[in-house]
Amino acid sequence: MTEDELDARIRSLPLAFGVRHFPKGISLLSQISGSERKAMACILLGCLVGKLPAKGIRACRSILDFIYLAQYSTHDDGTLSSMRAALNVWHADRDYFITATVRKDFSIPKFHSLLHYIEAIEFFGTTDNYNTEMFERLHIDFAKNGWRASNRRDEFPQMITWLARQEKISSFATYLAWLESTRKPASLPIVRTFTGQAIQLAKKPQSPRQLLPAIEHNHSANSFTHTLKEFLNDKTMKPTQLLAATLPFNRLDDFQTVTVRPPSEDGMSPARTRVGRVKVLFRLPDKFDDSTLTPSEWPKTCLAYVEWFTTFKPRHEENHDMYSVMVPPRRTNGFAHASIIPLTDIVKRANCFQTSDETMSTPYGHLTMF
């Protein structure tokens, strides 16, 4: 794969929540930051599938597995064993890049340091305890702010004096805090624990009272009205009656953004989830146009219109460890396979990549995906 081919694949990726889009590819980037490298890791493997042979895909997947596992905030024997297995696969398959003349060797200190990660975690704890990122802020506090406080002439003695004063102020503030704590009984801080999901919606919808045809057009959701009829009348009407049924309203509150904090990963598995494309976030009206109240059994919470992909296969693909899903053909009535579900049923973001005839869902999106 050439740089132009990889850039073309990266440019063609659709916009996705939580995933950085590189409109010009990545080959032209210079002085790449850590956040940019993390964003590349989210999309790299999916862009290589179908172009690299199995050995190259396994090498890329294994090193990505190792990188993500190394960032865990807690470890046990199971996660360390997974890191060791990923590292073994990387060493077994990395010679593909030498055969493909991408590199002459792997005599790189960072690659050698991978051999010591597991031992370091066993002796010193997780890597976030000694990550160099924690010291990056000190460059601003000790160098940039000190230089800005100087007169830009013979600045080093001034910066040292400024820094010494800042340390004295910090020490005195610590003393005052201790003195204040001795004057009144210390109160234990309130520890807030969160369970389940947290959903934040705007108090007022960004697009209130939108006409149903406008919602279908703006969100490319041609089956929205029919699916809404199914949702409201599935227990009272036959499928043939739904085609001619009318809704008692023609406007809905349309939300553009929702913040969802994903629940615990415990119990989440492909067998219990399904990938879908969220097209519309909306809320049913409280009153009809004639000011009469809507039925009490109608949901009062925010709902989502979702067009489904096919279900996950029993096993993921062997080389890249991703699951393959496809857009199913439309139903016999011409409408998409779609549902209206409570917003609380959405648990993760799935990062998907388009291949020649199918869509693959990848586990590399973010450490917490929804």
Q: Which pLDDT belongs to residue 298?
A: 84
What letter does residue 73 receive in the DSSP assignment? Answer: S
pLDDT at residue 369, rounded to an integer: 34
pLDDT 10s digits, 165-211? 999 999 999 999 998 887 765 555 555 554 455 567 777 777 888 88
pLDDT at 15: 79
**Other beta carbons less than 10 A from residue 324's beta carbon:** 18
Q: What is the pLDDT of residue 18?
A: 77
Lookup result for tokens 């190259």: 56
Give DSSP secondary structure letters for 338-358.
EEEEEGGG-----EEEE-SS-
Q: CA 365, CA 352: separation in Å to the nearest integer?
A: 9
Q: For residue 124, what are the CA distances in angstroms to 121, 309, 343, 354?
A: 5, 44, 42, 42
Position 353, amino acid: F
| Cβ–Cβ under 8 Å, residues 201 and 258 | yes
* Residue 156: predicted pLDDT: 93
Residue 81 pLDDT? 96
**Whole-number pLDDT of residue 300:** 84
Tell me the C-alpha distance between 272 and 312, whole Å: 10
In sequence order, which ranges of the chain are alpha helices (DSSP H)? Answer: 3-11, 34-48, 54-70, 77-93, 95-99, 109-113, 117-124, 136-139, 145-149, 155-183, 212-218, 224-233, 239-242
pLDDT at 365: 46
Q: Quick check: pTM over 0.85?
A: no
pLDDT at 342: 87
Helix (H) or strand (E) holding 308: strand 303-308
Contact 94, 106 (CB under 8 A): yes
Residues of the chain with pLDDT under 50: 194-195, 365-370
User: Which tokens belong to 293?
Assistant: 């109240």
Cβ neighbours of 352 (radius 10 Å): 20
Token code pair at residue 73: 């905030």
Contact 303, 333 (CB under 8 A): no
pLDDT attached to residue 368: 34
Helix axes 54-70, 117-124, angle to 10 degrees: 20
Distance between CA atoms of 295 and 244, rounded to whole angstroms?
A: 21
Q: What DSSP string describes 187-249?
A: -PPPPP---S-EEE--SS-SEEEEEHHHHHHHTT-TTHHHHHHHHHHTTTS-HHHHTT---S-
The CB-side HSE value for 5 (13 A sphere, CA atoms) comes to 8
Task: Give the pLDDT score at 68.
Answer: 92
**Do the beta carbons of residue 222 and residue 281 sit within 8 Å?**
no
Coil, helix or strand at residue 39: helix
Contact between residue 214 and residue 250 where contact means Cβ atoms under 8 Å apart: no
pLDDT score at 366: 41
| Edge-to-edge strand ranges of the sheet holding 323-325 | 323-325, 359-362, 351-354
